[in-house]
Structure 1
Amino acid sequence: MTDNQSIPEYEAVTDGVRIRVRPRFMQEESSPVRSRYIWSYTVEIENNSDHTWTLTTRHWDIVDSLGRRQIVDGDGVVGQTPCLAPGESFRYSSGAPLSSPSGMMSGMYTFVKDGGEALNARIPTFSLDSPYERSRPS
């Protein structure tokens, strides 16, 4: 897909923290012959709350169309722990490889505000669809 208008956007809001995800199949980096399917995804996090939040950890749950599951936990995102004051946003891009032509991703970011209170913000479940998927759910 080259037209950004045709890329789906997924969104979730937790206590004023809005998370939007736009996945995109990377045709040029994938190799169906070698069962290698690559997606990029762009995440935008907007702080629409009254608090300043620092993103401290991430948790991803990735399931491919054959039911294989990967759990990815780590500090921050793309080597950063962004601090978002009210009204601020942060955007980053990353990627996910699968060995089947489609899958799903979901997860959670943990944010901490001054004083130590934590917020577990839901990352919306999003679909990883390639043109090589032979069966689609109805």
Structure 2
Amino acid sequence: MSLEQEVTVSVDSFYLGAQSDPAEQRYVFAYCVNITNQSEQQVQLLSRYWQITDGNGKQTEVSGEGVIGVQPQLAPGETYSYTSGAVLETPVGTMQGYYEMIDQKQQSFRTPIPLFRLAQPHILN
């Protein structure tokens, strides 16, 4: 199994109604990410890439160093969790992407972030 498959990502998203303003087409979401290192070696997250798509099909790409200002190292078996957010112009959208990582030998690899939905409650059946 490759490192890309041994470092896994799961995401839970939440609508933040108190920070949203539908009249202004402002829908705010938080998402909690869990990155788990199931490999036998330490890895480090260097950067992130996100593709955010709103309900109108508008795509935004976001990339940068680390996550929430850090480049975490994960020992074998360790999970790193963080929470961040996104603002959309529609009540529904999706996010997906990848993390650029390195292993102990400084070999780089990408860990995919699976597609997940951002949705205002009760907007979808």
TM-score (norm 1): 0.84
Structure 1 residue 109: Cα displacement: 0.4
What percentage of aligned pairs have identical amino acids?
35
State the partner residue of 2:34: 44
Structure 1 residue 132: Cα displacement: 7.1
Q: Secondary structure at the match of 2:40?
A: coil
Is the contact made by 1:101 and 1:132 (CA closer than 8 Å) also made in structure 2?
no
Report the Cα distance in structure 2 between the residues aligned to 1:88 and 1:131, rounded to whole angstroms. Answer: 32
State the partner residue of 2:92: 102
State the partner residue of 2:5: 15
Whether 1:113 aligns to 2:99 is no
State the partner residue of 1:70: 60
Report the Cα distance in structure 2 between the residues aligned to 1:93 and 1:125, rounded to whole angstroms. Answer: 16
State the partner residue of 1:81: 71
Moved more, 124-133 or 93-102: 124-133
Structure 1 residue 37: Cα displacement: 0.1
Structure 2 unaligned runs (5+)? none
Report the Cα distance in structure 2 between the residues aligned to 1:113 and 1:131, rounded to whole angstroms. Answer: 39
Structure 1 residue 105: Cα displacement: 0.3
Structure 1 residue 96: Cα displacement: 0.3
Output one character per residue of 1:10-32: Cα deviation in whole Å (capped at 9) or x when no partner.
Answer: xxx93211211000011111110
The 1:28/1:54 distance shift into structure 2, 3 A limit, reads same
Report the Cα distance in structure 1 between the residues aligned to 2:121 and 2:45, rounded to whole angstroms. Answer: 34
Q: Which amino acid aligns with 1:101?
A: P
Structure 1 unaligned runs (5+)? 1-12
Report the Cα distance in structure 1 between the residues aligned to 2:106 and 2:52, rounded to whole angstroms. Answer: 29
Q: Which amino acid aligns with 1:128?
A: L
4+ residue segments displaced more than 3 Å: none
TM-score (norm 2): 0.92
Count of equivalent residues? 123
Report the Cα distance in structure 1 between the residues aligned to 2:59 and 2:99, rounded to whole angstroms. Answer: 19
Output one character per residue of 1:13-64: Cα deviation in whole Å (capped at 9) or x when no partner.
Answer: 9321121100001111111011000000000111010121000010000000
